């Protein structure tokens, strides 16, 4: 049986990651805190990144090419659930767009992540 407390903690971590780390572009602080050093990330069919440095650089590049110095703002997680070490969250952006993030957690940080927007 899954540990509901761990799922709840991980979902709360995803809230802080998106609403603080991502929205405020706090790359070295909150964003890095919620990813393992060796995190593997698949992002919208792009080549998988390996490690927090590659993931952070890919996200900074995405922000830069999407029109500015601040990331598109995530305003809510209307759908969020998990089982065991996995969570799935739908994030809504201020412009009405949505993304889906499936994450595998280890010791309170994302070790593996798949993102579709």
Q: Domains, the chain, ranges and CATH?
A: 4-116 (3.10.450.50)
Statement: the pTM of the whole predicted model exceeds 0.85: yes
Q: How far apart are CA 20 and CA 94, in angstroms?
A: 15
Q: How far apart are CA 71 and CA 62, in angstroms?
A: 8
pLDDT tens, residue by residue, 42-71: 998 889 999 999 999 999 998 998 877 789
pLDDT tens, residue by residue, 1-24: 446 899 999 999 999 999 999 999
Q: How far apart are CA 99 and CA 60, in angstroms?
A: 17
């Amino acid at each position: 049986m899954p540990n509901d407390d761990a799922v709840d903690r991980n979902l709360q971590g995803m809230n802080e990651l998106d609403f603080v780390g991502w929205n405020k572009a706090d790359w070295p602080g909150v964003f890095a805190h919620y990813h393992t050093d060796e995190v593997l990330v698949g992002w919208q069919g792009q080549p998988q990144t390996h490690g927090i440095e590659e993931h952070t650089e890919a996200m900074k590049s995405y922000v830069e090419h999407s029109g500015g110095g601040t990331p598109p703002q995530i305003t809510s997680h209307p759908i969020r659930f998990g089982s065991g070490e996995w969570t799935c969250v739908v994030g809504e952006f201020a412009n009405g767009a949505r993304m889906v993030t499936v994450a595998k957690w280890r010791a309170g940080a994302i070790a593996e992540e798949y993102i579709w927007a």
